[in-house]
Amino acid sequence: MVGTMRATGGWDRSYESQTGTDMYSYVENVYSVSVNRLNCIGNSHCPDTMVQPLAFSLNRAQPEALVDQIVREVERALQRQTLHAGMRMPSIRSLAKAHGISTFTVVEAYDRLVARGTLVARRGAGFFVAGAADSRDTGPTSPGGTLAVSTTASEVTNAWLLSEIFADDAIAVKSGCGWLPDSWLDEDGLQGALRSLSKGPGAHFAHYGHPRGYGPLRQWLARRLGELSIDAPPEHIVLTHGATQALDLVVRTLLKPGDTVLVEAPAYCNLLAVLRLAGLNVVGIPRTEAGLDLAALEQAAQTHRPRALFVNPALQNPLGTSLTPAAAHRILQCAEQHGFWIVEDDIYRELAPAGTPSLAAMDGLSRVIYVSSFSKTISPSVRVGYLACSRDLAHEIARSKMVAGLTSSEINERIVHAILTEGRHRKHIERLSDRLTRSRARLITQLQSHGVTLLAQPEGGMFVCGSLPQTSRPARELAEAALLESIMLAPGEFFLAHNEPCHWFRFNVAYSDDARLFRFLDRAAAGKLAA
């Protein structure tokens, strides 16, 4: 490896000075690690003669993206039984070469197929067929003329929660989803920003953006972070395609397969998927209403020598609780003592009570990498996130960003900047917070009246976590039964590092005020669901 990244954010250039290898080569190495662990090229255990060929063509003239075409053709091959469970897929490079496309296109298609549960990735061996393709896109219609829910119980998986729920408009009650309704977001601000940009010079629609992202938005963020006592000049900030890409870029830049990382238990489910896909050893640290279990954190740091801790200090997803200043200080002390990074996922900061501590503010971005986004408060369709860290590390992460997918969308970043500087965003956040507060209080009362016990009293945000009686069936089984009734639930095991069975769910306060949900919970608690 070309040098090493120190936990303080500094770069060890000893190898570079000895060999003349530039920093771009380091980033190429970073990305090749993540590609090669999913790619069996050059692996003696997966010669090309063992690879299942794929006979299909891609049409660049179609409006459908090449990634979508690959996903569609692989799933059609499963439906036709050309592919069967356990078959090895072509390597990333061989498929790219066969169709004259970029390896990045194949990586994205394979990642999507893994997320859908169609393929599985085995480190050092490649991709393999997991099972039959999902045919819900062409599912039957109900007697009323709407698309019927064709999801079967076996399809309620983490991958389904992370991908298929976004495409399945037939589900009537989306209590387990992770976003807000369109009507709750700043639709007027979004439309106004689009109109404003469309009237301006057209040059900004026709070129790549800056590797770190749109400069004026980074300048605005630097001022905003300064208000939070986080000293992050624009050159310390990298804009990304949402917070998930920011987390992925941190993983690509700082970690390698086999490294141990610590997460909260429970934790953000998509983070867990990113870490698993990277081949990391994930260790959960209990997070309760009282905060992170600091004794367990210290023990895990001594036992596992982790490279990083991923933590939600403000309005943690899924619990909705926040760290105390004392707990935040102890976490920073532990990281300093044991030499690991802290990745602070802070996307709910705008909705959190004033005074909620920030690890980045307390640390000064020495050991902390700060991640946030605008998906929850402006629009998930805009997909603008960002991270802030030391200047040297920001440089390396920007390099990884360019290698993995080039620049983020400057148009989207301009839209967000226009909304933030138009002057109405603060009022929108106030209205949204008030609406969430009212809906959360109402949902808590409803859940408790139907026999649901809260895991924690949320301090704000979008979610409430609650458990049915231990005598009921496991949450995963109940989620499968609920889906057959067009009710989407998010069982607690999706938020645990190793999918441990449990009896609790995460409820979205904006989507859970529905009598069908509470009738289902009553029957589930009483054991009156069909086996």
pLDDT digits (tens, 9 = 90+) for 444-460: 999 999 999 999 999 99
Contact 32, 45 (CB under 8 A): no
Asked if 216 and 315 sit in the same domain, the reply is yes
Q: How far apart are CA 50 and CA 430, in angstroms?
A: 59
Confidence band for 17, pLDDT divided at 50, 70 and 90: very low
The reported pLDDT for the residue numbered 83 is: 86
CATH of the domain at 102: 1.10.10.10
Average pLDDT, the chain: 83
Which whole number is the average pLDDT over 124-149? 50
Write out pLDDT tens, residues 301-332: 999 999 999 999 999 999 999 999 999 999 99
Distance of CA 185 to the CA centre of its chain: 20
Whether residues 366 and 235 fall in one domain? yes
pTM (predicted TM-score): 0.71
Between 213-217, 377-381, 391-395, the lowest mean confidence (pLDDT) is in 377-381
- pLDDT for 84-112, tens place per residue? 888 899 988 888 888 888 888 888 899 88
Q: For residues 108 and 90, what is the distance between their CA atoms, to the nearest angstrom?
A: 14
One domain, residues 286 and 379: yes
Say how many CA atoms lie within 13 Å of 344 toward its Cβ: 30
| 484-486-487-493 Cα dihedral, nearest 10 degrees | 40
177 shares its domain with 223: no
Count Cβ neighbours within 10 Å for each residue of 248-280 and write b for 16 or more, e otherwise: bbbbbbbbbeebbbbbbbbbbbbbbbbbbbbbb
Q: Which residues pair with 371 in a beta bridge?
A: 345, 387
Same domain, 287 and 357: yes
**393/443 same-domain check:** no
Phi, psi of 264 (to 5 degrees): -75, 150
pLDDT value, residue 385: 96
The amino acid present at 12, given as its one-letter code, is D
Give residue-wise pLDDT tens across range 268-292: 999 999 999 999 999 999 999 889 9
10 located within any domain:
no
User: Do 464 and 318 belong together in one domain?
Assistant: no
- pLDDT for the residue 29: 42
Please name the residue that has the structure tokens 């380091």.
26
The mean pLDDT of 177-183, rounded to a whole number, is 91
Q: Which of the given ranges, 49-63, 126-140, 376-390, has the highest pLDDT on average?
A: 376-390
Out of 130-134, 332-336, 356-360, pick the least confident.
Answer: 130-134
DSSP state of 499: -
Whether pLDDT at 40 is above 70: no
Has residue 228 been placed in a domain? yes
Report the pLDDT value the prediction gives residue 418, as an integer from 0 to 100: 92
Q: Establish if 9 belongs to a structural domain.
A: no
Report which of 188, 374, 342 is spatially closest to residue 263, judged by C-alpha positions. Answer: 342
Q: How far is 393 from 395, CA to CA, in rounded Å?
A: 5
Question: Exposure of 350 by Cβ count < 10 A (0-12 exposed, 13-18 middle, 19+ buried)?
Answer: buried
**Side chain identity at 23, as an amino acid letter?**
M
CA separation, residue 222 to residues 9, 127, 348 (Å) = 19, 42, 18
Confirm whether 395 is domain-assigned. yes
Residue 219 has pLDDT above 60, yes or no: yes
User: For residue 449, what pLDDT is reported?
Assistant: 96
pLDDT at residue 486 is higher than 50: yes
CA triple 317-321-325, angle to 5 deg: 120
**pLDDT exceeds cutoff 90 at 145:** no
Whether 198 and 344 share a structural domain? yes
The last residue of a domain, from among 391, 422, 453: 422
Q: What is the pLDDT of residue 320?
A: 97
Q: Between 43 and 288, name the one with better pLDDT.
A: 288
Among 422, 440, 475, which residue terminates a domain? 422
Among 376, 402, 422, the domain-final residue is 422
Q: Are the CB atoms for 402 and 211 separated by under 8 Å?
A: yes
List the one residue out of 87, 88, 86, 59 whose CA is nearest residue 72: 59
The arithmetic mean of pLDDT across residues 220-249, rounded, is: 96
Is 160 contained in some domain? no
pLDDT at residue 164 in the model: 52
Same structural domain, 382 and 234: yes
Which residues face 506 on adjacent strands?
A: 465, 490
In a domain, 149, yes or no: no
- Residue 434 belongs to domain with CATH number: 3.90.1150.10
The reply to whether 331 falls in a domain is yes
Torsion angle (degrees, nearest 10) of CA 193, 198, 202, 207: 50
Looking at the fold, whether 450 and 318 belong to one and the same domain comes out as: no
Q: Quick one: which of 7, 14, 32 has its CA closest to 389?
A: 7
Q: Please, what sign has the CA dihedral across residues 413, 416, 420, 423?
A: positive
Lowest-pLDDT choice from 139-153, 193-207, 287-301, 373-387: 139-153
Domain annotation covers residue 250: yes
pLDDT value at position 191?
86
pLDDT tens-digit profile of 114-134? 888 889 988 778 889 985 433
How high is the pLDDT of residue 9?
39
pLDDT class for 4, splitting at 50, 70, 90?
very low
Report how many domains make up the chain.
Answer: 3
Q: Are residues 60 and 104 in the same domain?
A: yes
Task: State whether 123 and 204 are in the same domain.
Answer: no
Residue 45 predicted with pLDDT over 70: no
| Domain range for 377 | 189-422
